[in-house]
Amino acid sequence: HRGDQKPSPHKVNYASRGVFAESDIFKGDFILEYRGDLIDPEESKRRRRIYHNSLKGFMFDFIWHGKFWTIDAARDDGTLGRLVNDDHINPNCKMKRIMVEGKPHLCLFALKDITPGDEIRYNYGDADCPWRNQVRIPWSCIRIL
Ligand X SMILES: C[S@@+](CC[C@H](N)C(=O)[O-])C[C@H]1O[C@@H](n2cnc3c(N)ncnc32)[C@H](O)[C@@H]1O
Residue with Cβ nearer ligand X (4 or 40): 4
CB of 45 to ligand X, least distance (A): 18
Residue with Cβ nearer ligand X (16 or 28): 16
Question: 2, 101 in Cβ contact below 8 A?
Answer: no
CB of 85 to ligand X, least distance (A): 3
Binding residues for ligand X, per CB under 6 A? 12, 14, 16-18, 57-58, 82-83, 85-86, 131, 138-139, 141
Residue with Cβ nearer ligand X (24 or 76): 76
- What does the buried/exposed string (b/e) look like for 113-141 if buried means 16 or more CB atoms within 10 Å of the residue's CB? ebeeebbbbbbbbebebebeeeeeeeebb
DSSP state of 54: H
